[in-house]
Amino acid sequence: MNFVIQSVGSYIPAKRVTNDELALTLDTSDEWIRSHTGIGYRHIASDDEAASDLGYKAALDALQHASIDVRKLGGIITATATPDYYGFPSTACVIQDKLKAQPAFAFDVAAGCSGFIYGLEIAKGLLRQESMQHILVIGTEKLTSVVDWKDRNSVLFGDGAGAVIVSSEKADNGVRGIIDSELHADGSGADSLMVAAGGSRKPMKLGNLPMEEITLRMEGRRVYNFAVSVIVGTLRSLMERNQLGIDDISYIVPHQANIRIIQAAAKRLGFPFEKFYVNIEDLANTSAASIPIALKEMDEKGLLRRGDTIVTIGFGSGLTYGGNVIVW
C-alpha cells in the first residue's frame, strides 16, 4: 500500500500586522526584524477565533479539494501547541464536532512545531491497519494568544492552520506518498522554549502568576543552535537512508521559524538555498501549522508535481524534531 497526501488545505486569518505596527509599542524596527528573522508580516486571529476554528476551516479546504465525504474519515489528528482547552476536550474532538464527523478516533499531538511531522507518521502507521482509508492531519496554532506583546520575541509568531488528507491506496502505479520518517525528542532542552505555568505543575489561578510565566519564553541562541544542528543531521540521515542526493529532491520544506536558521543549515550542508521553500516573510512562525501551510502554497503555485520527492523538516519545543520523505 501507498500512504499518499490526497489534498492540502489552509486557513490564514484576515488581520495582517506589519513590523512597523509592532515597532510602535516595542523597542524594534522593520529593519531589525527582517535582518534577524526574515519576517515582514504576521496574521493574527480574532479574539473569538480559537485553534479549532482555524483548523476546522483548513480541514474544510482539504476535504473539498480531495472530494472526500467527511463521513469517510477514519480519524482526525490535530497537532497544536495552543489547544482550545488545556487537558480536555482535545482540539481534534472539537474539530470533529464542527465537521459533524464520526471517525474512529480524534486526538491531539503535542510535539510543538514538529507536531505535523509526527502527525503524518502516526497517520501512516494507523492506515497500515487497513481498517480505514482516510485520515485528516491538521496543524493549527493561535500562538499570538500565548505571547507577551512587550517581549521582543513576540515578533516571531503568527496564527494559521494547514491540513492534509492522508489516504491508503494500492501501489499499482509505483511507490509514492509518505516513504520514510524520522522522529526524535531531546527532553534535556525542554526549558528552552516553553510556557512555564498553566499546567498541573503550576496551575493557573486568577491573579496568581506573573506575565512571564503564562506566556511563551524562549532562549533564542540555544534554540537556534539546536535547530541548525537537527536540520542538518535529520536531512543527512533521511537522504542517506533513502539513497537521495540533493538533485533527487525537488524541495525541502522546513518549519518556518527563522530565515537565519534555514540559511545556516543550507550553508552547512552545502545545498543551494533555492531548494528550501520559504514563506516566513509573509506569515512568520505558525508552529505546527507552518509546514502544511507551505505545502498548500506550493500546491497552489503548481510546485508540487506527481512523482516529485519532497522532504519536510520540523523542530521545536520539547525539544522535538524530525522529518518526512514524501513522493508526491
Q: ∠ CA 313-111-308 to the nearest 5 degrees?
A: 25
Give yes or no: residues 148 and 203 share one domain.
no
Give yes or no: residues 163 and 226 share one domain.
no
pLDDT given for residue 197 in this prediction: 79
pLDDT given for residue 207 in this prediction: 66
- Domain edge (last residue) among 169, 188, 210: 169
pLDDT tens across 42-61, in order? 999 999 999 999 999 999 99
- Domain edge (last residue) among 108, 137, 169: 169
180 phi and psi angles, rounded to 5 deg: -155, 155
- Stretch 263-269: mean pLDDT, rounded? 98
Express as a percent the part of the chain with pLDDT over 70: 99
- The CATH number assigned to the domain holding 297 equals 3.40.47.10
Give yes or no: residues 182 and 314 share one domain.
yes
End-to-end CA distance of the chain: 15
Residue 175 CB coordination number (10 Å): 8
- Stretch 149-168: mean pLDDT, rounded? 94
Q: What is the 3-state secondary structure (H, E, C) of 53-106?
A: HHHHHHHHHHHHHHCCCHHHEEEEEEECCCCCCCCCCCHHHHHHHHHCCCCCEE
Give yes or no: residues 95 and 215 share one domain.
no
Candidate from 145-149, 210-214, 266-270 with smallest mean pLDDT: 210-214
Task: Please name the helix (run of DSSP H) or strand (run of DSSP E) that holds residue 238, with its range, or none.
Answer: helix 220-241
**Mean pLDDT over the full length of the chain:** 94
Give yes or no: residues 124 and 186 share one domain.
no
Structural domain total, the chain: 2
- Stretch 60-76: mean pLDDT, rounded? 95
Give yes or no: residues 201 and 306 share one domain.
yes
> What range defines the domain where residue 90 resides?
2-169
Give yes or no: residues 64 and 6 share one domain.
yes
- Kindly give, in sequence order, each residue whose CB lies less than 8 Å from that of residue 81, ignoring residues fewer than 6 positions away: 110, 112, 113, 115, 141, 143, 146, 287, 288, 316, 317
Give yes or no: residues 239 and 160 share one domain.
no
pLDDT band at 214 (very low <50, low <70, confident <90, very high): confident
Give yes or no: residues 24 and 163 share one domain.
yes
Give yes or no: residues 145 and 195 share one domain.
no
Give yes or no: residues 267 and 313 share one domain.
yes
Contacts 24+ apart (CB under 8 A), 93-98: 94/50, 94/52, 95/52, 95/55, 95/56, 95/59, 95/138, 98/52, 98/53, 98/56
- Domain edge (last residue) among 142, 169, 196: 169
Task: Please name the helix (run of DSSP H) or strand (run of DSSP E) that holds residue 227, with its range, or none.
Answer: helix 220-241
| Nearest CA among 31, 119, 141 for reference residue 75 | 119
Catalytic residues: 113, 255, 285
pLDDT tens across 75-115, in order? 999 999 999 998 789 999 999 999 999 999 999 999 999 99
Angstrom distance (rounded) from CA 159 to CA 23: 19
Q: Is residue 319 within 8 Å of residue 226, measured between CB atoms?
A: yes
Give yes or no: residues 16 and 154 share one domain.
yes
- Stretch 219-231: mean pLDDT, rounded? 91
